[in-house]
């Protein structure tokens, strides 16, 4: 029983990380039809920004951790908004070029990060509580999982509130459904594009800081490795569906944890099989809409 509890909560923690990356991917695809392969770079840069702040302030205080999370969000948002404004805006409805530019940007930024911070993993320090465990129904659960879960829930609630109660949110919800009609109501939908990129970048930047604590290190490849699973989560959840991304994040991460433990480290294989089954049975994903 304790093993099941541990795997469930650890899976939820990993799912929280997947959601922080996938939420931005899903919103960006839903509104703009852009598959952003550079999204992992926002995460990595957020993680490095958080680590840089942490090592300057002394990484063992909660104040430093919160400041590094906020900095990760700001850096992620700023770089994502700049990417949209400088590169993606010229390429709407040109999907091949979008893929080429975002893949190119992802490769170039990894090389840039390696040039600045080196290729080796850099180990991070955190408040001591995060490296301790809490006993739940006999399972000793690492405390950092609770941080991941709490942050993802807050981000989910924040994005939902933004979408539901602000005019930009209204524009984004309408734009996901019918972008040209939003324009035909006199709304400059490009501003919403930049806002969505910034929101996605902020979530990814926060995910980067949290991922560095989950894995215990930050490296130039951090974003790329999480991005693969975030894409899988986005497709399984349904492209453009935030709720779908949240559900799929949890399902994928828990499946991965259980398969790794009970079926000899086959977690990644099981996730790919789940993706194949979803694409065969329900090609639009769990909550995706038919084209």
Partner 1 sequence: MTESILTVAGLNASIEGQQVVEDVSFEMLPVGVTALLGRNGVGKTSTLRAIMGLIERSGEVTIAGERVDREPTHRIVQRGVGYVPEDREVFASLTVNENLRLAERDSTPNRQLIEELFPDLIARAGQLAGTLSGGQQQMVSLARALVNDNRVLLVDEPTKGLAPLIVMDVAKALERAAQTVPVLLVEQNLQVVRMLADKAIVLEGGRVVYDGSAEELLGNEALTKELLGVA
Interface with partner 1 (CB under 8 A) = 167, 170-171, 173-174, 177-178, 180-189
| Smallest separation, CB 172 to partner 1 (Å) | 11
| Alpha helices by DSSP H, 216-266 | 222-237, 242-262
| Smallest separation, CB 191 to partner 1 (Å) | 10
Decide whether 1 or 180 has the Cβ nearer to partner 1: 180
d(C-alpha 202, C-alpha 223), whole Å? 14
DSSP conformation class of 91: G
| Smallest separation, CB 170 to partner 1 (Å) | 6
Residue that has been written with the tokens 């989560």 in this structure? 233
Decide whether 192 or 226 has the Cβ nearer to partner 1: 192
- For 195, the token pair is 């806002």
Contact of 201 with 45, CB cutoff 8 Å: no
Decide whether 167 or 291 has the Cβ nearer to partner 1: 167
Decide whether 135 or 177 has the Cβ nearer to partner 1: 177
d(C-alpha 11, C-alpha 272), whole Å? 17
| Smallest separation, CB 176 to partner 1 (Å) | 8
d(C-alpha 143, C-alpha 157), whole Å? 22
Residue that has been written with the tokens 């902020």 in this structure? 202
Counting every residue, how long is the chain?
Answer: 291
Decide whether 94 or 140 has the Cβ nearer to partner 1: 94
| Smallest separation, CB 177 to partner 1 (Å) | 5
């Amino acid at each position: 029983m304790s093993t099941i509890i541990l795997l469930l909560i650890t899976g939820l923690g990993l799912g929280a990380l997947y959601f922080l990356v996938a939420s931005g991917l899903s919103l960006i695809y839903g509104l703009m039809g852009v598959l952003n392969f550079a999204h992992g770079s926002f995460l990595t840069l957020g993680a490095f920004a958080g680590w840089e702040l942490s090592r300057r302030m002394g990484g063992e205080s909660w104040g430093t951790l919160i400041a590094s999370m906020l900095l990760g969000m700001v850096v992620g948002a700023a770089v994502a908004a700049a990417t949209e404004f400088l590169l993606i805006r010229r390429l709407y409805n040109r999907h091949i070029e979008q893929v080429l530019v975002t893949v190119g940007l992802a490769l170039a930024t990894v090389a840039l990060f390696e040039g600045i911070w080196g290729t080796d993993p850099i180990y991070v320090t955190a408040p001591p509580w995060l490296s301790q465990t809490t006993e739940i129904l006999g399972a000793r659960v690492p405390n950092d999982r609770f941080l991941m879960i709490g942050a993802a829930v807050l981000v989910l609630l924040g994005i939902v509130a933004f979408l539901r109660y602000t005019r930009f949110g209204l524009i984004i919800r309408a734009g996901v459904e019918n972008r040209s009609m939003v324009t035909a109501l006199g709304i400059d939908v490009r501003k919403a594009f930049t806002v969505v990129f910034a929101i996605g970048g902020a979530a990814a930047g926060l995910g980067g800081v949290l991922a560095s604590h989950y894995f215990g290190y930050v490296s130039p490849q951090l974003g790329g490795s999480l991005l693969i699973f975030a894409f899988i989560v986005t497709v399984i959840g349904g492209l453009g569906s935030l709720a779908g991304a949240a559900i799929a994040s949890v399902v994928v991460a828990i499946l991965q944890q259980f398969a790794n433990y009970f079926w000899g480290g086959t977690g990644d294989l099981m996730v790919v099989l789940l993706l194949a089954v979803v694409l065969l049975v329900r090609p639009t994903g769990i909550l995706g809409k038919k084209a």
